[in-house]
Amino acid sequence: MRTYDAMNPLAVAVQLLLTACITVFCMDPVLLGLSLCAAMALFFMRNGTGHKGFHALALGLPLLFMLLNPLWNQHGTSVLFFINHRAVTKEALWFGAVTGIRLAAVLYWFRTFSDLMTSDKLFYLLRFLSPKLALIFSMAVRNLTLFRQQMHKIQNSQKALGLYREKHLIDDVRGGIRVFSVLISWALENGIITASSMAARGYGIGKRSSCTNFRWKRQDIVLLLSALLLAGTVIVLIAKGYLERQFYPVIQPPVHGAFWYTAVIAYAALALLPLLHEGKEALIWYRLRSNI
Amino acid sequence: MLVIRSEKIRHMLGTALPFAIMPALVLLLPVGVQAQYYALVSFLMVVLALLLFLSGFERRELGTRRMILVSVMTALSVIGRLLPLIKPITALTILSALYLGREAGFLVGALSAVLSNFIMGQGPWTPFQMLAWGLIGLFAGIFAKPLMKSRLLLYGYGLLSGAAYSMLLDIWTTVWTYKEFTLHEYAAALATALPYTILYAVSNLLFLMIFTKPIGDKLMRIKKKYGL
């Protein structure tokens, strides 16, 4: 069984980024609703019912925006009621709601993107761009943990030297700056040692070969191509203006022609690609198990 | 990638394209492009500018030691955020640019933005943050000589870069929330973000005041000791 995060990072990144980017640049309520549903379904499937804090943020923030937008936005024409002599319009309320859904959907998509695209996968993607840069990036990631460990060591030795008073704010800040300063001296020297040892082992002399854990299988190519095809369809239709919605000064009635349906269905397929993949794999797994 | 024979023209284009032509296009777009595509186009421009710079980076000779020092400074500026009350990314980006060169400055700024966003959360704003911090580093590297001579000028640059960072990110906020870019809405976004702008500028100034002497001395010492 090959879960979605075991697929080739390039295919996964393309699918997630295209789905999220279309959400960012579209204002069609149906498409945005679909996007939010698919993103939430994927999130629940991967994480179960935990992460209440994130749900509160991702759904609370848009709700706040939806409620606040009519208060500062005076563009609409159909006035519903007044608060403090400021008109609250139906258009501003709708605009706030749609923008709120968009915000929530984008938050869910990028949360999943952050979860799936761990730094090793990003390193793999960076290699296409520049091997040198990929090396710097991966060393910086490694340095993070190294420096944290070193920082704890420095802190402990400072404490052992008796340089801290009990619960004293100014002392804490000065101590923090001192620890950071010690860490910098150490890190720079350590970096130079690393560089010398790399040079001693022949780094920078000739072309280097490298190895990666991520392979291209037929599934990956199918995923990548279908994501590109579906997203291309949607983007062309958006650019042609078939999903354009105007909220101010009056809400336009939606025009739902054949192109609109094509775009929405294509987008639904694009957003559901991860779920379809996981569903298919689960089905195969279930059938294999029941054969035993 | 691009094949241009003349070294000079290649170098000029490599700097001008991402840092002069593309930002200018982003700012001039509202005149030419229809409002509804502005968000999309400006986003693509920023990503393209970053990609162009980063792919040009591969060809340049930075030297192993300098390269390692860039990764060290990046990690340090990210880890500085984990300490209580210290937000040193801008200060460290400027200092690395002054002592290690403009490319190092750009890389420390841009990479710190991606790396710290692994902790703080990635989003469509990541490329804008990368570009903003990268440009702060790049310009500090370009004006390294006067900035290193006069401490007052350096503090001024710190204040200015804090304000510029906030203003650049507000372009994104405006474009994304309202799907178009008008001065009226941009002004509203700027006004909302004013406390943050002041906070950024003042904290930059503060950390430059604290860090310039000790970290500058350390970088200078490493440069002298190992002949970078």
- Give Cα A250 distance to the centre of its chain: 34
Q: Are B27 and B8 in contact (CB under 8 A)?
A: no
pLDDT tens per residue, range A119-134 = 788 878 877 777 788 8
Do the chains contact at A133 and B57, CB–CB below 8 Å? yes
Q: Do A188 and B67 touch (CB under 8 A)?
A: no
Which token pair is B85?
A: 């009350």
What pLDDT does residue B2 have?
40
Q: Which residues have CB under 8 Å from B22's CB, separation 6+?
A: B45, B46, B48, B49, B52
Chain B contact present for A158, CB below 8 A: no
The answer to whether residue B10 sits within a structural domain is: no
Task: Tell me the β-bridge partners of A289.
Answer: none
pLDDT band at A185 (very low <50, low <70, confident <90, very high): very high
Does A137 contact B at CB distance below 8 Å?
yes
For residue B184, what are the CA distances in angstroms to A180, A245, B181?
43, 22, 9
pLDDT of the residue at B1: 33
Residue-number span of the structural domain to which B170 is assigned: 64-226
pLDDT at B3: 45
The highest-confidence range among A52-61, A219-228, B31-40, by mean pLDDT, is: A219-228
Higher pLDDT, B210 or B182: B210
- Integer CA distances (angstroms), B40 to A21, B36, B44, B181, in order: 9, 8, 6, 12
**Alpha helix ranges (H) inside chain A:** 9-24, 29-47, 52-72, 90-116, 119-129, 131-160, 169-200, 218-239, 258-291
Answer whether residue A1 shows pLDDT above 80: no
Which of A198-207, A241-250, B115-124 is predicted most confidently?
A: A198-207
Q: Could you tell me which chain A residue has the CA closest to the CA of B175?
A: A25
Pick the more confident residue, A72 or A182.
A182
Residue B13 lies in a domain: no
Of A73-77, A223-227, B211-215, where does mean pLDDT reach its minimum? A73-77
Q: Is residue B6 part of a domain?
A: no
Give the tens place of pLDDT for each residue, A81-91.
777 777 778 88
CATH of the domain at B185: 1.10.1760.20
Confidence band for A223, pLDDT divided at 50, 70 and 90: very high
B40-61 pLDDT, tens digit per residue, is: 666 666 677 677 666 666 666 6
Work out how many domains chain B is built from and give that number. 1
Mean pLDDT of chain A: 86
Q: Which of A135, A144, A194 sits opposite B78 (nearest CB)?
A: A144
Q: Lowest-pLDDT range, A41-50, A151-160, A204-213, B88-97?
A: A204-213
> Domain for residue B17, yes or no?
no
Q: Between B227 and A166, whose confidence is greater?
A: B227
Q: Determine whether the interchain pair B51/A151 forms a contact, defined as Cβ–Cβ distance below 8 Å.
A: no
Report ipTM (2 d.p.): 0.78
